[in-house]
Amino acid sequence: MTTQSALITVMVAAARKAGRALTRDFGELENLQVSQKSQSDFVSQADHRAERVARTELARARPRYGFLMEESGATAGADTSNRWIVDPLDGTTNFLHGIPHFAVSIALERDVDLVAGVVYNPISDELYWAEKGKGAFLNGRRLRVSGRKILAPALFATGIPFAWHRDHKLFLRQLEKVMAVAAGVRRFGSAALDLAYVAAGRYDGFWETGLSPWDMAAGIVLVREAGGFVSDINGGTAMMASGDILAANDSLHEPLGRLLRDCR
């Protein structure tokens, strides 16, 4: 069992406490009041409750740090170098439909560099964490990305934009290209867990467009620390700004990226 740093201990405690709140709400879905923010973008009492819990725990441990959170937005901190990036419930649609595939995602950004990440599925009790230069772990076990070197046996994950999204037709072209050469493509509805699964070698790669920083920040650290490569789909480093992401091992990152870029 690897010893966690003080930083990771703080993040894990916040993720577990927020996860307990989600687990309670997940068991009482029929009592939740759900409002619709926009098409396919739902928010519930559970999101806000979990976010408050995570924020309270993180602020107690690091009171000077800033925040970027899905529900409450950005809050500047006295320490302008450090900022928590938090998605209290990644996979809200799964949650609201009673599908036990969702997560709490917490990352720390230091001087615009992602340095630590935690992704926690409270239903399966799978806790992923990574810290820059210290590796990635799942419930204390060291993680490595998959070792597959060619596309044919590879399993990829993605997120499907809805029909009214600007990238929907592009995605369909991408999906057709990837399905023609790979073993399969999965869409499970949580980018944070998709990236964690890449870090764990369960998926060989992942791509998606139109994400927000809190969807991917923790997962980026996980994949990098597990030996994988993360970029935007153009192969650059603008993932957090563009919302487009491509993650895979060193052998498949470029071939997968080339397939996706050829669809434009």
pLDDT at 30 over 80: no
> Can you tell me which residue has the tokens 């994950």?
157
Q: 3: helix, coil or strand?
A: coil
pLDDT of residue 39: 44
What is the average pLDDT value for the chain, to the nearest integer?
93
Burial class from Cβ neighbours inside 10 Å (0-12, 13-18, 19+) for residue 32 reads middle
pLDDT at 193 over 60: yes
d(CA 86, CA 98): 22
**Polymer length in residues for the chain:** 264
pLDDT of residue 163: 58
DSSP string spanning 9-46? HHHHHHHHHHHHHHHHHHTTGGG--EEEEETTEEEEHH
Angle (CA) 251 237 163, round 5°: 85
Residues of the chain with pLDDT > 90, as a percent, come to 81
> Can you tell me which residue has the tokens 């060619």?
150
d(CA 148, CA 129): 23
pLDDT of residue 169: 84
Q: Which amino acid is at 98?
A: G
pLDDT of residue 239: 96
> Can you tell me which residue has the tokens 């740090």?
65
What are the domain boundaries of the chain?
6-142, 155-261
Once rounded to an integer, what is the mean pLDDT over residues 210-231?
97
Once rounded to an integer, what is the mean pLDDT over residues 57-76?
95
Question: Which pairing describes strands 79-90 and 73-75: parallel, antiparallel, or unpaired?
Answer: unpaired
CB atoms within 10 A of CB 12: 16
Once rounded to an integer, what is the mean pLDDT over residues 56-69?
97
- Specify whether the CB–CB gap between 198 and 206 falls below 8 A: yes
pLDDT of residue 2: 73
Q: Who's near 98: CB < 8 A, 6+ residues apart?
A: 26, 29
Does residue 56 or residue 36 have the better pLDDT? 56
Once rounded to an integer, what is the mean pLDDT over residues 186-208?
97
Once rounded to an integer, what is the mean pLDDT over residues 67-72?
92
pLDDT at 28 over 90: no
CATH topology of 6-142 equal to that of 155-261? no
**Fold for domain 155-261?**
D-Maltodextrin-Binding Protein; domain 2 (3.40.190)
pTM for the full predicted model: 0.94
Q: Who's near 243: CB < 8 A, 6+ residues apart?
A: 209, 210, 211, 212
Once rounded to an integer, what is the mean pLDDT over residues 24-44?
70
Q: 98: helix, coil or strand?
A: coil
* DSSP, res 205: E
Write out pLDDT tens, residues 123-175.
999 999 999 999 999 999 999 999 999 999 999 999 987 655 667 788 889 99
pLDDT of residue 165: 62
Question: Which pairing describes strands 141-142 and 65-69: parallel, antiparallel, or unpaired?
Answer: unpaired
d(CA 175, CA 185): 8
**Fold for domain 6-142?**
Fructose-1,6-Bisphosphatase; Chain A, domain 1 (3.30.540)
- Retrieve residue 224's tokens: 């990098």
Does residue 203 or residue 71 have the better pLDDT? 203
